[in-house]
Amino acid sequence: MSEVKGKIIDGRYKITDILGRGGMSIVYKAISLNLEKEWAIKEITFDSNSDVDFLAEPNILKNLDHPALPRIVDIINKDEKIYIVLDYIDGTNLNTLLNQCTSFQEDKVIGWAKEICDVLIYLHNQKPNPIIYRDMKPGNLMLNKQGHIKLIDFGIAREYKENTEADTVVIGTRGYAAPEQYGNHQTDQRTDIYSLGVTLYHLLTGKGPNDPPYELLPVRSINNKFSEGIEYIIIKCTKQDPHYRYQNVEELLEDLNNIDKLSAEYKIQKRRSKGKFFIASLIISILFVGSGIYKINSVKTGEYLNVLSAGDNNKKSKKYDVAISKYNEAIKQDPKRDEGYLNVAKLYYDTAQFDKLINYLKIEAPKENEKITKNEEYSYLLGLACFAKSDYKGSEENFNNVKSNNFDGIEFYRAISKALNKPGNLSKDDEATKVVSNLRQYIEQQTDAAKRVRGYIMLSDLYAANAQVFDNNIDSQIELLEKAIAQSEDKSNTALYEKLAQAYNAKAFAVADDETQRNKYSNLALNNYKILENLGYETSSLYYNIGNIERTLKNIEEAESYYNKLVKKYPKDFKGYMGLAKLNYDRESKKDAASRDYSKFVENYKLAEQNNSAENNPEINNLKVLYKEIQKQGYIK
């Protein structure tokens, strides 16, 4: 690492870390010198005589625009190397998380599965040729700091061409790859469905396809608490013959959204209800056929609105599940009215459940009430959710369907979406900067504190996601998040403190050359992480971040204390051992050469390596470099 850290690429990007290595490529973490924004840079060394298409990945990604995919912002061809500059995803891959907690709850896995389906549907519907990903596995799924899934590494993705009988190469990750990837067959969208099924199996059970018993068992035989629906879905996804799998991802998503309807009990009840309905219909027909007139009145408007009001009261009391059940009760009373659906969507927005909101309005609500898509409030809420997820193309499309200016901030949201939804790189003098300043004034003028707080958070996320557009973006994030915390009624909102801690940490990194300023912002980050700890937010990442900051501040005993806490609470998480190894190395390196004893460093390095499951983990690779250095110096026999 020492020979590349600080290296400048094309006079614009400074390498700060190594994120991973592959056969012919290295992925760096870098910062742009002029915009102070972090990027991932994939360096590919190519052989001019090779038949490999080294530009296949950038050629696929450069035309894509989806919030779950990294954007390509630059391609540099220089000195027999290709540098692909992509969005840096600040998060953790699911394989690493699996190593920390073994498996995940079913509802969490289903939520991730829906997000993955959304991006696969996008890829599979590309024109003129669908894009087949071909390498779905936990290690290629990143969970970002906002809790959303990002799909990475398009190294073996390909376009599906209808008249081609076979793929050009046979590749994939053994165990996750579909059977057709190992024969003379062409892969299609059913190939991705197979790999997704294996991935869901691994996330649920904690058992990968290459772990004993080396086969995919029905998940309920491993844990009978899993639903019949998820077992059915995984079995269908992973059929050996593609013809017996889901034929497209839309079918799979349909079952994920209606997973309760896949149980045997539901099907029995459905058959019974059909039988009862037939008998009741027959009796009614007999009773009323002579009268010539029969009319069933719909539920009175007053009753419908009373149920909605009960839902709103529960929402105010933060009884969100009860509120949803009341809104659904109203929908059941009159499924052709829009208000019930819109109240559900507003609750999802107010509780920052943007993926649920998008899925609900795009898929679930229109099934029961097709005309709701014509409602301007439907488009407004969908636009807000897309905006919150930095999907500016989606937000612009939806805000353009809102003709009225009676919705809060619509003119600002519409203008910002239009400004940020542009091909190519945005610049600091873009019109977006002017519109955002107007939006900020608008938010400040809101009399409703909850609306102001939501506005501050949204603006902070906007600055974080578009650092190349806005000057002093980290300072703006800090200012807005401080205001949000000060004005929020909920003083236990862990997401706010975590965002603020991350912003202060980023500021400390940005001023790293000035030790006084660095320490100032490191302490502010530390204060907010400590607030999280006091609120009971005890994650491995929290302990690791606190340990790292204490180490930066040279509070060695405090750093060691937090690394040890991490090891005690999460003994299978490599980060605690890695932090201790770094401390051990620092301590011994300060001693005179004859007194150095690196045995503790070696012990913790070995434990970190043993508990790390990620391939080419850059932090483990850094420790490996240190290990080899002291080995060369004769401290390790």
Report how far Cα 434 is from the mean position of its chain's Cα atoms: 29
Strands 25-32 and 13-21, sheet pairing: antiparallel
Closest CA to 452 of 438, 440, 467, 436: 440
Report how far Cα 202 is from the mean position of its chain's Cα atoms: 18
Query: How big, in percent rounded to 5, are the helix, strand and coil portions of the chain?
Result: 55, 10, 35
Instruction: Pull the structure tokens for residue 312.
Output: 């709103």
Instruction: Pull the structure tokens for residue 30.
Output: 């870098």
Amino acid letter for position 76? I
* CA dist., res. 564 & res. 569, Å (int): 9
Burial 87-106 (b: 16+ CB within 10 A, else e): bbbebbbbbbbbbbeeebeb
Report how far Cα 284 is from the mean position of its chain's Cα atoms: 53
- Torsional sign, CA 304, 309, 314, 316: positive
Q: How far is CA 453 from CA 240, 480, 494, 612, 629, in A?
A: 51, 9, 14, 39, 51
* CA dist., res. 635 & res. 627, Å (int): 10
- Three-state DSSP string of 529-598: HHHHHHCCCCCHHHHHHHHHHHHHCCCHHHHHHHHHHHHHHCCCCHHHHHHHHHHHHHHHHCCCHHHCCC
Closest CA to 616 of 7, 1, 27: 27
User: What's the alpha-carbon Rg for the chain, to the nearest Å?
Assistant: 27
User: Tokens 């027999």 label which residue?
Assistant: 80
Residue 42 annotated in ligand binding = yes
Residues that constitute the known binding site = 42
Residues that constitute the known binding site for ATP = 42
